[in-house]
Amino acid sequence: MYLGKIADTLAADNRVVVVSATANPDSRSADPRSNPTVVEIRNWSPRKSALVQRAAAVCLLAARMFFSVLRRATSSDIVFCVTSPFTLPYTVLLAAKLRGAATLLLIYDLYPEALEAAGLIQSRSFAARLIRLANTLLFRSLDGIIVIGRDVPPLILKYPGVKPDKLHIIPNWPLVPIGYREIDPSSRFRAPDASKFIVGLSGNLGFTHSPATVFEAAKLLQSESDIHFILSGWGVGWKELNDLYAQEGLTNVTILSPVPEDELIEFLSAADLWVIPYRRNIAGVSIPSRLYNLLAVGRPVVIASEANSEGALALGEQAIGWVVPPQDPVELARAIREAARDRQATTEKGMRAASVAYKYREEAALALYRRVVNEVRQARMDRRNDPTT
């Protein structure tokens, strides 16, 4: 969704070709005259829990992307790449450099830090050191780096040779219309007792999240008869949640199937409070994209993360939620209990959240993308016209 919007915006000033591994039903993908033109390449998608197969799949995808970019890029182009999957930038931007193209990287998740936070590799392991070496070579060679949050630049600038003027901060934006929604007691998502204080957890739970923290907080709050949890989403974390629920069977927890997109606004509006639970050491590593939708519907949020993470900074600046230590169910339960005991204050936080969401308007973010791409193009032209370079 985000990348499609970015591509459409950049097409206002540029001829845009999108090389994608995601099936696109849009007919323009088959029409080379369209702008953007979408070129689809084959992709193998093993289930998320199959780590070995997924590792092989992302390496295969990176290789296919390398040859696709090598075949299409020219020295007058700007090659714009994202960090998903994490192998992609190394091959795509190598192909761009071989063609003499300018390069831009949009960092969604930072590796190897994300793998370390998930406990998949150790910080001193050979794999971590190898990725950091590759990052050093990559980051130094880029014409620009776009990050989503203010917590990312300190990590990027640790790499030798990376200049601060290469970094650009462009937050994501809400994917739903901005505006405070009143609680609807008749919403099916508040059943069976609409009068209870509803705590929600939704979206993709990956390796950087800690769903067990939410479940353990729910256990601590079982005696609070007016608090109920509704949980719905996908990803590896949801298997963990379902396993925990099967073992414990908490009466104050309802687990729902993933909510269809056309019911998302109703679902997000049904809860009084939302939770985003991260593991430790994710500041600058994983982006809080779901936060912007929650703010847009006017709901306060409890984020479990370090205080310097982008999500924590956004909540703290405007008093629109709570920040608790990561993987600390006691503190999470305390924040939820506080929110439930003063519903009026919690509602006021939600109203402020909807106002704050306008700061993250789609139009403002996309204008920044256009500006950064134009700056990179102009800098490339200036270098070419400078006889001293």
Q: Are 265 and 181 in contact (CB under 8 A)?
A: yes
**Overall CATH class of domain 188-360:** alpha beta
Closest CA relative to residue 292, chosen from 276, 272, 271, 270: 276
Q: Are 18 and 37 in contact (CB under 8 A)?
A: yes
Query: Which CATH homologous superfamily contains domain 2-173+361-385?
Result: Glycogen Phosphorylase B; (3.40.50.2000)
Q: Which of 65-79, 114-128, 309-323, 334-348 has the lowest mean pLDDT?
A: 114-128
Question: Residue 55, SS3?
Answer: helix
In sequence order, which residues have a C-beta less than 8 Å from that of residue 107 and are 6 or more positions away?
A: 82, 83, 145, 146, 147, 148, 152, 156
Q: Are 229 and 253 in contact (CB under 8 A)?
A: yes
Give pLDDT tens digits for 222-267: 999 999 999 998 888 888 888 898 998 899 999 998 898 899 999 9
Q: What is the pLDDT of residue 28?
A: 47
Average pLDDT on 321-329 reads 96
Average pLDDT on 53-75 reads 88
Query: What phi and psi values does residue 233 have, to the nearest 5 degrees?
Result: 170, -155
Residue linked to tokens 């006889």: 387
CA distance 114 to 385: 41
Q: What is the pLDDT of residue 323?
A: 96
Residue 47 confidence class, pLDDT cut points 50, 70, 90: low
DSSP H/E element including 190: none
End-to-end C-alpha distance for the chain, whole angstroms? 39
Q: What is the pLDDT of residue 239?
A: 86
CA distance 327 to 333: 11
CA distance 372 to 87: 24
- Return residue ranges of the chain for CATH 3.40.50.2000: 2-173+361-385, 188-360
Q: Are 3 and 362 in contact (CB under 8 A)?
A: no
Residue 381 confidence class, pLDDT cut points 50, 70, 90: confident
Q: What is the DSSP code string of 5-46?
A: HHHHHHTTTS--EEEESS----GGGG-TTSSSEEEE------
- Would you state the structure tokens that stand for residue 366, as one six-digit string? 């996309």
